[in-house]
Amino acid sequence: MSSDNSSTSKQDFVIQYMSLRKAIGILGITLPFVLILGKIACGNPGIESSISDYYYTNMRDVFVGILCAIGIFMLSYKGHERNDDIAGNLACVFSVGVAWFPTAPELNPTQQQLSVGIIHYAFATAFFLTLSYFCLVLFRKTNPEKTMTEAKKTRNKVYATCGGIMLGCIVLLLINAVFLRDTAIKNLDPVFWLETLAIVAFGFSWLTKGEALWKDQE
């Protein structure tokens, strides 16, 4: 009886963590689209220059709420090694930091808002770098006592792709900020789309980690 209870508890634990990973993934993937559709539904068409700019729209509470929820889920995440826990805790701090320290508004920002905006971008960069570390290092590890399945090989490719996309977006955002900020390309909202691509890649990687996709066969 004791053995059966232990086995059931372990199975419940695994199911809970798979569900947690899926929840993180769903929040990440849906964030940009919830903000866009919510703003339009409130009678304000068009998209903002960046995801962070939704802080200054009627979707502020949704923006802050989803980021804080992601932070709480990341804090709750416990991996197989201490590095997983440290990365999860850092991702929590960075995610909440992005929410609590807003970007500077585009029109007539004060010096204080500009200073807070710098902190915002530092947190955002650190957040995506941490998520890239999850994808490129932590998620791709394999238990040496287990045979790597074809599904796991596919998942590893997904993790590598998602991590590479996030790093690529960070580089392109930096290039845009330094060289292209005041050019005609600004009209295409490159910051918004690069941020959207990065956060969707983040969400997709966590959905995959939760085995919503390419699940190992029982």
Mean pLDDT of 115-131: 96
Q: Note down the domain range covering 61.
A: 17-209
State how far the alpha carbon of 73 is from the alpha carbons of 22, 36, 95, 129, in Å.
10, 23, 10, 18
Sequence-separated (6 or more) residues with CB below 8 Å from residue 206: 21, 22, 24, 25, 28
Q: Is residue 218 part of a domain?
A: no
pLDDT confidence bin for 6, thresholds 50/70/90: very low
Q: Is residue 118 part of a domain?
A: yes
Q: Is residue 7 part of a domain?
A: no
Q: What tokens does 75 get?
A: 């804090």
Task: For residue range 35-76, list pLDDT tens digits in order.
Answer: 999 999 998 888 999 999 999 999 999 999 999 999 998 998
Q: Is residue 100 part of a domain?
A: yes
97 or 14, which is more confident: 97
Q: Is residue 164 part of a domain?
A: yes
> Most confidently modeled of 148-152, 155-159, 214-218?
155-159
Sequence-separated (6 or more) residues with CB below 8 Å from residue 66: 27, 31, 34
pLDDT score at 7? 47
Q: Is residue 171 part of a domain?
A: yes
pLDDT score at 214? 76
- Distance, CA of 18 to CA of 5 (rounded, Å): 20
pLDDT score at 218? 59
Residue 197, pLDDT above cutoff 90: yes
Q: What is the DSSP letter of 59?
A: T
Q: What tokens does 194 get?
A: 């690069």
Give the pTM.
Answer: 0.86
Residue 130, pLDDT above cutoff 50: yes
Nearest of 55, 61, 32 to residue 102 by alpha carbon: 55
Task: For residue range 83-115, list pLDDT tens digits in order.
Answer: 889 999 999 999 999 999 999 998 899 999 999
Q: Is residue 1 part of a domain?
A: no
For the chain, what is the radius of gyration of the CA atoms? 19
Percentage helix, strand, coil for the chain under 3-state DSSP, each rounded to 5: 75, 0, 25
Residue 8, pLDDT above cutoff 50: no
Q: Is residue 182 part of a domain?
A: yes
Quote the number of domains for the chain.
1
